[in-house]
Amino acid sequence: MVSNGSSSLGGFANALIHSRQHVSPKRLIAPGPNPSQKLEILNAAGAAPDHGKITPWHFYEVSLDGRHLLGNLFADALIERDPTATSMQIEEAKEKAFRGPLLLLATAKLNGAQDNIPEQEKLISAGCAIQNILLMANALGFGSGLSSGKALYSKKMRTLFSLQEKEEPLCFITIGSISTHKANKQRPDASSYSSIF
Ligand SMILES: Cc1cc2nc3c(=O)[nH]c(=O)nc-3n(C[C@H](O)[C@H](O)[C@H](O)COP(=O)(O)O)c2cc1C
């Protein structure tokens, strides 16, 4: 193995990985990443394992105009699910699109027409790209949270983001400053999920 010349990398990686934990978008506030930090965060995704160098992921940054459209979609989806939803619940559904200073939609591009890479490998690549984003955000001092929900998988969402055929929405990623910190979570021990074959 080629030495990376840095004996402190293991300790840094350990601290970086284990200090990341989900932060609810409600607790993610301004300031968010500045333009160069945003680029650093997005570039981290590009270092994900990628069989065949096909970049089977995409990240859509949701602009302010985009948030208005997304908020309306969340509200419509709620009304469709629950026609008795109150105006307060509808407003809350809309407001979800405005949480956090940086909002990304992550998708996996599963189209197999141009390559022979199995879909599950592409999904794994996209998952790793997401984790790289979360870890880079953490390294830069920001909190992050993933969110999904029924509306994410709706036809309207596909239309709103003009998703291609076989491009699947995975989750929203919210990034920002943490308003209130919580104690670090207890994580499962390796012995609970690994064994010798
Ligand atoms: C693809 C994906 C979507 C998720 N969507 C939601 C969500 O909509 N709401 C939520 O509370 N947690 C959601 N989670 C879980 C949180 O992001 C988080 O992973 C979980 O609470 C565990 O926290 P941890 O990341 O600190 O281990 C989602 C996780 C993944 C991987």
pLDDT in tens, the chain (197 residues): 445 555 689 999 999 999 999 999 999 999 999 999 999 999 999 999 999 999 999 999 999 999 999 999 999 999 999 999 999 999 999 999 999 999 999 999 998 777 999 999 999 999 999 999 999 999 999 999 999 999 999 999 999 999 999 999 999 999 999 999 999 999 999 999 999 99
Question: Cβ(149) to ligand 1 under 6 A?
Answer: yes
Residue 113 is predicted with a pLDDT of 72
Residues in the chain, overall count: 197
Instruction: Please check whether residue 41 lies inside any domain of the structure.
Output: yes
Question: Cβ(101) to ligand 1 under 6 A?
Answer: no
Instruction: Please check whether residue 128 lies inside any domain of the structure.
Output: yes
The answer to whether 28 touches 178, Cβ cutoff 8 Å, is yes
Q: Given the structure tokens 């409600």, which residue do they identify?
A: 26
Question: Cβ(104) to ligand 1 under 6 A?
Answer: no
Q: Whose CA is nearest to atom 31 of ligand 1?
A: 146
Question: Cβ(177) to ligand 1 under 6 A?
Answer: no
Q: 113: domain CATH number?
A: 3.40.109.10
Tell me which of 20, 104, 147 to substitute to probe ligand 1's pocket, judged by most ligand atoms within 8 Å of the beta carbon. Answer: 147
Residue 1 is predicted with a pLDDT of 42
* H and E: helices and strands count for the chain: 6, 5
Instruction: Please check whether residue 1 lies inside any domain of the structure.
Output: no
Q: Whose CA is nearest to atom 8 of ligand 1?
A: 147
What global pTM score does this model have? Answer: 0.95
H or E stretch covering 41: helix 35-45
Instruction: Please check whether residue 88 lies inside any domain of the structure.
Output: no
Question: Cβ(185) to ligand 1 under 6 A?
Answer: yes
Residue 8 is predicted with a pLDDT of 82
Question: Cβ(93) to ligand 1 under 6 A?
Answer: no
d(C-alpha 178, C-alpha 128), whole Å: 23
Instruction: Please check whether residue 135 lies inside any domain of the structure.
Output: yes
Residue 172 is predicted with a pLDDT of 98
Q: Of ligand 1's atoms, which has the minimum distance to the CA of residue 21?
A: 26
Q: Of ligand 1's atoms, which has the minimum distance to the CA of residue 145?
A: 17
Residue 149 is predicted with a pLDDT of 93
- How many A from CA of 3 to the centre of ligand 1? 35
Instruction: Please check whether residue 90 lies inside any domain of the structure.
Output: no
Alpha-carbon torsion 154, 159, 161, 162, what sign? positive
Instruction: Please check whether residue 173 lies inside any domain of the structure.
Output: yes
Q: Which structural domain, as residue segments, surrounds residue 159?
A: 23-62+99-181
Residue 112 is predicted with a pLDDT of 74
Which CA distances in Å does 162 have to 15, 57, 62, 155?
A: 38, 15, 13, 10
Residue 4 is predicted with a pLDDT of 54
Q: Of ligand 1's atoms, which has the minimum distance to the CA of residue 187?
A: 27
The total of structural domains in the chain comes to 1
